[in-house]
Amino acid sequence: MAVLDIRQRTGWLLLVVTVGHVLLISAQVTTERGVPLLEEATLGVFSRAQGLASSAVGGVQSGWSSYLALQDVREQNARFVREMASLRVTLQRERALARQSRALRELLDLQAATEPATTAAEVIAGAASPEFRTVTINKGTGDGLASDMAVLVPAGVVGRLITPTGGASLVQLLIDRDAAAGALVERSRAQGIAVGTGTGFRLDLVPGTADIQIGDRVVTSGIEGIYPKGFLIGQIESFGRLGGEFVDVRVRPAVDFTAIETVLVVLDEPPDEGE
């Protein structure tokens, strides 16, 4: 065991002496540039170590810079998203105001062109049941309104007042199943009765000899004494014949009854058909 320890110590001593000898020789031997070999080797090792360290530091700095740039981009994107949402809300509000202004302008033009006296009112409620098609407006008997007064919009006929109160009135829409109005085909002057179907109109009692075509405009005739003559009801979209008579004449409404906001109520009674 002691012999083994002496051999190990001798081996290590020999290794140290050999390395020292090599280093001593390297210090004395010079390269072609006149630089000691040991110095050049040492410089090379340290240069490579410094390069690796610089690369590592540069990588860390680049990664940190990229992280900061990414955070900045994320903040900018979040800000842009908020600004875009705000702009969209503003745009919707501006469009709504523009539509309202256009609707009011058209209503004023209709009021100026309508011979009977009229008053404007706003729709404040609609019927809950599709079977009973009504809306409520914000004017009533306190504003001079009475039952069976006609209600109009620039697109055409809306309906008539059926239950006026002091500050509000119920309007029966012309598409209601219990509503009807005297009607005539504007082009040929053929007469009939426009009856509500819940979503549109059916043109009844059209003479078999009448001249009607798909696309013909149907307007009020004023014969029932409620609606002024000549206001648009809709257009004929289909019809059939049976035994020489017209059957199932369908009229597409001119008014979008789901988007009524402001209306005109006709205050004066329309003139009789014979006047």
The more confident residue out of 14 and 189 is 189
CA distance 218 to 198: 18
- Amino acid type, 44: G
Q: In the prediction, which pLDDT does 57 show?
A: 56
Q: Are strands 150-153 and 262-266 parallel, antiparallel or unpaired?
A: antiparallel
The neighbour count for residue 8, using CB atoms within 10 Å, is: 9
Residue-wise pLDDT tens digits, 201-245: 999 999 999 999 999 999 999 999 999 999 999 999 999 988 888
- Amino acid type, 86: S
Residue-wise pLDDT tens digits, 131-165: 789 999 999 999 999 999 999 999 999 999 999 99
The neighbour count for residue 106, using CB atoms within 10 Å, is: 14
pTM of the model: 0.62
Is pLDDT at 46 greater than 80 in this prediction?
A: no
CA distance 182 to 233: 10
3-state SS class at 241: strand
CA distance 169 to 191: 31
